[in-house]
Every structure is written in structure tokens, then in C-alpha cells.
Amino acid sequence: MNTADGDRLINFVRIARGLERDGLYNAAKLFWAAVFSAEVRESGQRGIPINPEERDREIEISIVRLKAAGAESEFLAALDAGRRAAVENRTIPRSEIPDVFVCRDCGEIFVGEPPAQCSTCGARALTFRAFPPVYYLEPLQPQQVLAALASAPVEITKIVQGLTEDEMAWPPVPGKWSIRDVLHHLLVAQGLLAGRVEKLLAEENPSLNAVAAWTIRSDDALTGQEVMDRFRASREVTVAHLQSISLPDWFRTGQHEEFGEVSLLQQASYFAKHERHHLPRMESTRRRVALRRQEAVTGG
């Protein structure tokens, strides 16, 4: 991001904060949205560092820059822990990287239990901005969750309809996930959701282990269609179970190793959003499969 772009975004933040201060919240949200949109677009244009080696180099450089800028030692230690976990390709328990907050008035960062008031400007802890591990945890309404969970198999079926087993197993880029790989990943995630629904409803504040679902390799003995069928059948059972619970049950909580206290509603929202995140990639691979078919026919 060049200096002009950086200045433009800072100016948007200045305007948003000024509008908030005067109680003009619906105007302020437009400038916050403009900032986030620009950040997403710019990062996409530069390319997301997915390659582990490239990502680690960028994290290392960022830590050096933050240290030079005077970042707090607790924050730098948490960054180091995150870097190690990324290299090891594993989940990160909350005991390694606890909650993080930023003072909205002065920008001070607090890792772990925040103080009652900001040590720099005196702002109260209730005004700090909390940064949850992932936006998937932002809860939907129960009816939204049920609709999303019930409709996911329908959307996925449309994507895979008409594909052969070879086409479902074809990776668009060597070493990257095929449609069948994504299906298997979603089946693993559905198994986690089903298990957590059962546990949260049966036990009082149970412990929920973090699972690195992306590292669980697919079962080659199953065809893509068999994976799809298992996903659909398991999801139908889960949706039926959730449809039968009372409103208070949605707010039963457990202690998640990675996320801290989570409600059943948050967990269901997490998995509903997570699978929607994968659909555009499946659609992109489907389009590439269609192009591959066309090239095979035309000899192109």
C-alpha cells in the first residue's frame, strides 16, 4: 500500500471516529466499511501469503517492524507463539495466545485479561475492541443457522452434479485440494459439529478439544459421491436435532481449547460460515473442470 493509499485509509478512520464521537453511528459505519473493503482488496491484489515459507518470512519481517515500533513484549511473545504454531501447522490453544484487545481511544494493545482501564489514556475496559480468533464465531440467529445448515447440502449438490469421480478427484493445481478433498473436509467438519451439538446438550459446560480439521487426510476408499452422501445424511440428523431444541439450549456453553467459552449457537454459526467459505473455491474448480472438458473435445 503506497503512502497516498495509507493516508486515505487513515483519513477514513479519522472521519469514522469523529462521527462516532458525535453519535452519528450509521454514517460512521460506512467509513469503517470503506476501510475494511480497501484492506481486503489491496491484500488480494498483492497476493495472500499461503505458501508456508513465504508466510513465515513475512511474519518474521512484521515482528521485527512491530518491535522497532515499540510493540509491547506480551504482544511480541504472542506473535512468536503464533509463528511457531504456523510453522508446525497446528491449532493454537488459548493458553498459548489468549484474548487480545485494543483500546479504541489510543490504540494500546492488551494480551490476556485486560486491565479495568487503559494504562495509557484511562479508557475503560468495556470500550476496548476485542479480536475474536475468527469471524465464524459471530453468532447468527438460530433460524438463520438452521436455514444455512439445511441448505448447504443442496448448494454443494448443485456444484458436484454431473461430475465424474475422476473430475471430482482432479486437483486444479498440483498439491491443492480437489473437489473431493473439499467434500471430505466438509464431512470431517460436519462430524465435529454433530459431536459438539451432542456434547453441549448432554453436559454442563463441557471441554471441547481443538481439532486441526484441515490436516485430516481423506479416505481414498470412499468415492466422491459416497462422501457427499455421508455428509448429507449426517447433516440431516444434525438439523433435525437442532430443530427440536428450545431457545435456551442454543445458549448452552462449553470451554473450547482454542476459542475459550463458546455457545452452541456460536459453534453452529461457525460451521455454517466455514462451509460457505469453501463453496466459491469448489465453484472455481468446477469451472476449470468444464474448461478442461472443452479442451479435451476441441484438442485445445
Cross-strand pairs, 117: 124
| Beta sheet of 129-130, edge-to-edge order | 109-111, 100-102, 129-130
> Which residues share a beta bridge with 254?
262
- The pLDDT, as a whole number, for residue 264 is 98
Rounded CA separation 228/240 (Å): 18
- Cell output for 109: 494493545
Tell me which residue of 199, 163, 195, 198 sits closest to 182, measured CA to CA: 163
Closest CA to 189 of 157, 141, 235, 137: 235
Q: Please state the φ and ψ torsions of residue 60, each to the nearest 5 degrees.
A: -60, -45
Quick one: pLDDT at residue 296?
Answer: 82
Name 253's Cβ contacts closer than 8 Å, sequence gap at least 6.
Answer: 200, 205, 261, 262, 263, 264
Q: In this predicted structure, what is the pLDDT of residue 4?
A: 78
pLDDT of residue 218: 67
The DSSP bridge pattern shows strands 100-102 and 260-263 to be unpaired
Total-model pTM: 0.89
Per-residue pLDDT of the chain (300 residues), as tens digits, is 667 778 999 999 999 999 999 999 999 999 999 999 999 999 999 998 888 999 999 999 999 999 999 999 999 999 999 999 999 999 999 999 999 999 999 999 999 999 999 999 999 999 999 999 999 999 999 999 999 999 999 999 999 999 999 999 999 988 889 999 999 999 999 999 999 999 999 999 999 998 887 787 766 778 999 999 999 999 999 999 999 999 999 999 999 999 999 999 999 999 999 999 999 999 999 999 999 988 888 875
Domains and CATH numbers, the chain: 3-132 (no CATH), 136-298 (1.20.120.450)
Res 215: pLDDT? 81
Residue-level pLDDT at 246: 97
Distance CA 136, CA 152 (A): 16
